[in-house]
Amino acid sequence: MTDDDTIRIGIVGLGGIARHHADHLEALTNDDDIAADLAGGMDIVADARDAFEADYGVPTYEDAAELYETVDAVIVTTPNRFHEEYVTSALEAGLDVLVEKPLAHSVESAERIAAVARDADSFCMVGFHNRFAPTVEVLKEQQDQGRFGDVYHVEANYIRRRGVPGRGSWFTDSSVAGGGSLIDIGAHAIDLAMHMLDFPEVVEVSGETRSIFGGREDYTYLHMWGKDGDGDFDVDDSAQALVRFANGQTLALETSWATNRPPTQTYVMQGTEAGATVDRADETLTIHEVEDIGGPHFSDTEITTREEPAHRKEQRAFVEAVAAGEAPERNTVEQALTVQRIMGAIYESSERGEAVSLRDDHDTEPPLQPPN
């Protein structure tokens, strides 16, 4: 850390998501007087380094070790396969890390990251920014205060009608990404649902992954987040799954890059006293209740929150944790490892054509029962 206590942050991997983080970091520093500065970047591609240096006015490096010597913390935004290399080397160098989701491209790689993180003096936070959305934070506070009773089921939907991020790019190369829509946006859906369920013990996963539209020559879209490349499309473009937990809770997942239905980013929580719907696309929260005051009736309460970018709030939490020298309680490596194992089990279940057990060998709590 510098003499004025300003936290110097570097970014590893200087593609599109790196610029997203850089822009939010600059806005966060300017708007909220956060004592943090973008101090440098690293990429193995010279053109990426040159462009980033020109646009943000910071030094860039080809060797991550050189960047590590100049910063206090790093944000890792490389393709998934390279998360392990840079997260572990940064932790071993004593730097705090914010790594973009998913934790890794495979369960095995994620487990190796988790092993290093457990022994490190510094910490790793994983970039599931949806947890920091104002609607989600209000939902969780209401949940913690008991408004929903016992939450027994969450339905998680992250669906694009046509939204492959770049056919033939690293996103659609299984050897680099580790998977397709499930790894990319499904990871967000699973994590947010698990956050609502308070990360219970997983016992069984049943799922199906499909690749129907992304590899077609007549794939038609209106816009694309990234750019088409000249590589293969050998990943899933949709997935559906059911996850069962040791305490009787369940999670139903649907995610897709491409499908013939309206897009949505809705999460429906069902509890014994109330339920809720969070729509991450239009940032709305509705709480569903049944009452008999004055007569039996249904009540749907729409919650309006302040508009704050979830990515920026996530960065604020990361910077504050670095400054305090304490690992954040949200977005931990262990939680991200659970998400990775669920995704791995969905792929395994789809391949085997049957449910996959992840049950630990110990007694379980009795299942939650919704009221009649």
DSSP-based three-state secondary structure for 111: helix
- Residue 189 pLDDT more than 70? yes
pLDDT higher than 70, residue 244 = yes
pLDDT for residue 4 = 67
Percent of all residues in the chain with a pLDDT value above 70, rounded to a whole number = 95
Contact 86, 112 (CB under 8 A): no
Rounded average pLDDT over 232-244: 97
- Domains, the chain, in order of start with CATH, read 7-127+325-330 (3.40.50.720), 131-309+336-357 (3.30.360.10)
Give the number of C-alpha atoms closer than 13 A to the C-alpha of residue 253, restricted to the C-beta side.
32
Contact 94, 122 (CB under 8 A): yes
Residue 178 is predicted with a pLDDT of: 98
Per-residue pLDDT, averaged over 79-95, amounts to 98
DSSP conformational letter for 162: B
Higher pLDDT pick, 227 / 131 = 131
Quickly tell me which residue has 């095995």 as its tokens: 108
Helix (H, G, I), strand (E, B) or coil at 232: coil
Cα–Cα distance list, 242 to 2, 335, 347 (Å) = 49, 19, 12
CB burial class (10 A; 0-12, 13-18, 19+) of residue 305? Answer: middle
CA–CA dist 9, 313 (Å, integer): 16
Burial of 25 (C-beta count, 10 Å sphere; 0-12/13-18/19+): buried
Structural contact between residues 120 and 92, judged by C-beta atoms closer than 8 angstroms: yes
Per-residue model confidence as pLDDT tens digits over 266-283: 999 999 999 999 999 999
Q: If we measure between CA atoms, which residue out of 36, 37, 40, 38 comes closest to residue 59?
A: 40
pLDDT band at 75 (very low <50, low <70, confident <90, very high): very high
User: Distance (Å, rounded) from C-alpha 204 to C-alpha 246?
Assistant: 9
Question: Quick one: pLDDT band at residue 366, thresholds 50, 70, 90?
Answer: very low
Q: What would the pLDDT profile of 350-364 be if each residue is shown by its tens digit?
A: 999 999 999 864 444
CA distance linking residue 101 with residue 182, whole number of Å: 12
Which SS3 state, helix, strand or coil, does residue 345 take?
Answer: helix
C-alpha–C-alpha distance, residues 83 and 76, integer Å: 7
In whole numbers, what is the pLDDT of the chain averaged over residues? 94
Peptide bond into 79 cis (omega under 30): no
Question: Is pLDDT at 30 greater than 60 in this prediction?
Answer: yes
Per-residue pLDDT averaged across 189-208, rounded?
98
Name which of 82, 84, 91, 98 is nearest 22 in CA terms. Answer: 98
Nearest-angstrom CA–CA distance, 47 and 204: 46
Query: Does residue 76 carry a pLDDT above 60?
Result: yes
Task: Please tell me the total number of residues recorded for the chain in this structure.
Answer: 372
pLDDT in tens, 94-131: 999 999 999 999 999 999 999 999 999 999 999 999 99
